[in-house]
Amino acid sequence: MSGATTGGVRIVLRLEALCVFAAALIAYRASGAGWGTFAIWFLLPDLSLLAYLVGARVGALTYNIAHSYVGPVGCLAASMLLSAPILATVGLIWGAHIGFDRTLGYGLKYSAGFGFTHLGRIGRAAREAA
């Protein structure tokens, strides 16, 4: 699938994601929010996978909305503007989730199917391509 990164660029993108994950964890620890809260909400963005039951196009769109850095950064900005610490908690957990996923190679999805991501093929799509 065209549009997927390869080689050194893919490695850099995954290292960037690792940095986002680590920074979110460090900031979360400094925030004083509880780790139980983190554990409960960390996988929440993955509920977007249920949209694949409707079809690949809807699934990819929903997954990409839930796994874009736009949401967490928006929460962090709104937290500072509105003095709403809960939004910082949401933004840090959400950003950590996305960083973790992308570090593992789970990139934004193409409508061709779940296995086609901007970071390359994953799962069955990767095995079939090999």
* Tens digit of pLDDT at every position of the chain (130 positions): 457 888 999 999 999 999 999 999 999 999 999 999 999 999 999 999 999 999 999 999 999 999 999 999 999 999 999 999 999 999 999 999 999 999 999 999 999 999 999 999 988 767 777 6
Helices (H), ranges, 42-122: 56-66, 70-82, 85-103
Whole domain around residue 72: which residue ranges?
A: 7-129
39, part of any domain: yes
93, part of any domain: yes
Rounded to the nearest 10 degrees, how much is the dihedral formed by the CA atoms of 40, 46, 51, 57?
A: 160
16, part of any domain: yes
Whether 77 and 36 have beta carbons less than 8 Å apart is answered as no
2, part of any domain: no
1, part of any domain: no
36, part of any domain: yes
99, part of any domain: yes
* pTM score, whole prediction: 0.93
108, part of any domain: yes
Q: How many domains does the chain have?
A: 1
